[in-house]
Structure 1
């Protein structure tokens, strides 16, 4: 609406409220020349005039206005005028002809317009207000229109059933639903076709192109459609529903995050994990935004994060002297408020002032001890460094301590290694190797592997680093059995703490979960490696202990059981000889059979000859009683021959099935089956394959496991009671059996 029309509307409303109808009539000529395009205006005017018994004048003025609009083909305005006036004069049937003409012209591109007009009764009904609103509702609910529901999200009209009084929708998150016309009005809100949610249903590919071509403008458009504020997690959730896949989203966000961050019209919170973005009405520079936030917060962590953000941007947008003074004032005040025992807090603020001075030509002075003086005069430098909350500051302090006292560094490095964080330990190892002290680095790594309780998180990092071969400079070896035992000891310790509900039980739950993941990742590789070289009696003993441990959850026990059975085929037999099981075939997939054949050939043709050579070379050194290399090679020989014999037996008895040989009438090897847990109603799906194929994370189980065996030969429709490793029982119903090899 133009400024002139808006001013005219305000004038008329003013005189209407005062009942000065002569003034309204004098202004009506302007309305005839420039009609006000708001139905609400005419509804308000009509209501006042009818109450003032001015219906005759209202009809006359309306007729003049309709005729003026007809001469200009202003059909949209005619509809708006009729909507407003008919609310108070529903029997003003003189509007029927011009209204029908306007509706037909304005909605001429609508295929079902004649049907809508006839169904509404607007052509012959004794009054016009209700028929007009019916027609407009049919238009609003025509196929392709978009609405939003408070709980079901956005939906699009798929079918309009006028005789049945039903509007059928497809909601992106809830599927197909239908409402009566009254239900649509009460529970749904119409979305403009330009709205993000509407466009995501109508043309998601167009949104993708728009987001890629103009990412900043696209984000502003999205924010405008979401009350000008949204968290990153919500943005991601919405864009993953048709605009991007996961990879596309990660690429788009990674490429454009800084563009969003530094746009003057997009506010960006400092939360790294889930920042909130806001659409501003006034521009604000990056430094202005962060400085305002910096002056507001009162914690060191938030101040550090905000100042770090500003300093990163310093080259592109220099920090003004005025801003630097304000920042220094806050830091200096916080420094002065640190108590006598707050050594770590004081050192952190000193380092923060150092960071600020690093980008300024004019440096700020510090009253009292400098950062280095505070560190060197500390009676407990190890405790001080590990108490710092910023990893980079821990490394900075350790580095300066080393430079100040290089003779004592080796002893300090070892203490810091065990007491500090993963990043600090990693830095220490790298520095030792870089300085030529590889022996000490190896010593520290070996000590950590034998002292897991001192720093479980560091132990976890060390195990993964060594197993993944990330540090070839650290030739540290530890047997999988010792590694497994150490991990189980930590899991048991955490379980005891959790059971006693200690104050930091949540921390122990996290540690326990991460160590269980270590054992079950990569298809339980560590478990398999630990047990494949054990004597069968040791395997059975450890297996019984772990399966009966109430502190371990059922999912972990299932994964553990599968891993052990993949390398210990005779776990359930009374003796481990091949003869006791030589007639027992076992089924495996072709892929796992070929993988084990490859392993067998590697051991037979490469590993054993190399081991024999190593034994010969070690024996040539003489004095076998003190020859560690010789004894290590001989132990390795036993392991290799034991594994070779086990593989020979398993490969001889292994049988593979072709997809067309799988019997899907019953649960068995090569089938995927769906079951219902009758105790909680949940659906579950499992695949039964061979002992070399199991992957519990994907619900792929060996048909030889106790869990898998209980389903063997069951048909769709059968019910059974399954016993878990803990002894608990669950009732299941078999719903469906399919071929897993196709």
Structure 2
């Protein structure tokens, strides 16, 4: 069957004779018959043979309809970008006005994805056939893939306007405006601008963005011309705030603009018509004077006009106050602790800050705390808007937290509340980012679309790779939400940013390579976005001078992964490249591929490269040990687990020293934490020691002892466990235990554990509770007069001292188990029976350490005055001594092991 299909096509090609008459006699039915052949070719998996047959035939018969069609369809079915044969076929039939066939061919091309050429040809086809209904649907598809097309966008806008769908018309007018600005066609820009002013003047943020783009692409004068046509719409609505804002922007471009200077004064008069000092403040600020700098005049006027009875103000010392009255040049203000305070207007302008009634500081002083807290929690959007507006409509999360914690929310409440707040700031249309400060947020007067919000963030990014993340975030939203797509003009500008790196690059650096990977990824998903550039990866790879350096600087894990995949598919030396690149992309991607393809020599090379240089390749070494130690290939390497642990301990010591020397402190803290987690929290070190030989235990513990910055509690617990397993173990450098130790003291295991639990309780319970007490006390106001705050701080000092003393004691303590008690002489862990030589009375004492001492129950410390006198004596000894000017005389009757 398969051979007959190839034979049939071969016969068809031989019989085909190309003439104009043959072309004119072709029908859509003939092409459908060829489609049936294509199905048979695919079923029999004969695409390669047919392609070769067609290519050979086209060498001597370049206009063969059959060869062009079969070759073109097979190539498109393979997701190839080569559509040249089908385009040539479309041109043949277009030239002969065979529009039905042209339509069929174009639709066949579009079956495999959107295609600019096919859509534009369909436009011509439907225009010739007067198929108006189909024409507009093609228009809509075409503008989504042809970002340069502007006239058709405007045609669509007019079409929807005429049909009464104003919302859709506005959407297309906006798109047309952006494209005409990019083409720098001012007359078209002005025409579309007027349409948008007519239909949606309230979309202020859109006009702001367009105006700035016009000023940048065309000129400031052109932006002024359009703003002159914009502000009258707000004058007619008596929206004085917006009219003033637009006039300010005109004056920013042209401070001497006579009409704008005149109009802004009139707008102020309308806005503050009821203000008793309006004309006085206009005169005082010289707002009408042409010689005065207009921006300084506006600033002076707005400062003065804001002072009116009932308004709130803020003083840096006295806090929030309310203007009680204004009498000529004197203002009376009620502050919380300074009622009816008087000051001159001139002083007030300089010393006070006017606050709107919804300012967060005003709300904190005027609204009961519990009520305000409830509203903040229930309505985070309102809370965010209130705080951001209170901070001059520009705030980051740190500033927002400072306004809410602890005055409104506790630190714990902030943690959960801020998570939701961050998501709202990112997705809610009411919020946007500042153009020059990505982490600062602003409240928009009019909602902003998500694609515009992402675009604004993209423009504000300073880092190339942050922009990569933002572009991919946009792509993720398009795949999740069909309300906006890749035809967005905002997306086109973001995408073009990366395409620009690929146009005649001077050097093949990380930005060029990353741009290639970004564009490839987008084009692979949306073929119609292909910018027509050579995106061949291996050609680009061969131009890289220092592959490791460039790869290391690609600061995006997804792009590095794409780099590795393309390298594996296109370079036979990929296993060796993977070895070289592993230190810069420490992940399972490389290990898995080498393991899956049985490149065990390369895996060993990676290991020894890291193992031999573990001091310099710390993160890679830790990752290998943590993630690959259980892999089969790893187990085959001739390295003992003890050596791996020894290197880990060395790195622990090195990172501690580097942290002390402030050498990459943040990075070393992260590595240090990973090592401690692996060795101690996951009990890897203890598990090994519990089954290791005694010599290995001594070697490793000696290294642990040398890590001077390690938490003493960790070291002591490890030592305690070792002594439990090896009770007779003598550590290198350790002298025989003496009864008296100048630096330390002896304790029972139970006492040691009790102190550890006490330390843990302070850390986990008492310290957090004290922190809450301090935070609560801060809310009560002035710290100098705050008794609760002082008490909480005193307790904090006490807790810190207790922790320090406990840590020191735990480090000095030597654990002595009951089985180690020695009853040959009086000492730790003994019970001694004494006879008072003078009174003949018998007394008994249990001798333990300072932590166990309980004189009321006859338990004394071996370090106490009495204990130290008794120690080292044996049964039968007589002893006389004096304590605090009192004489004692005893005979030791019996020494035995204490029961504990």
Scaled by the length of structure 2, the TM-score of the pair is 0.40
Scaled by the length of structure 1, the TM-score of the pair is 0.47
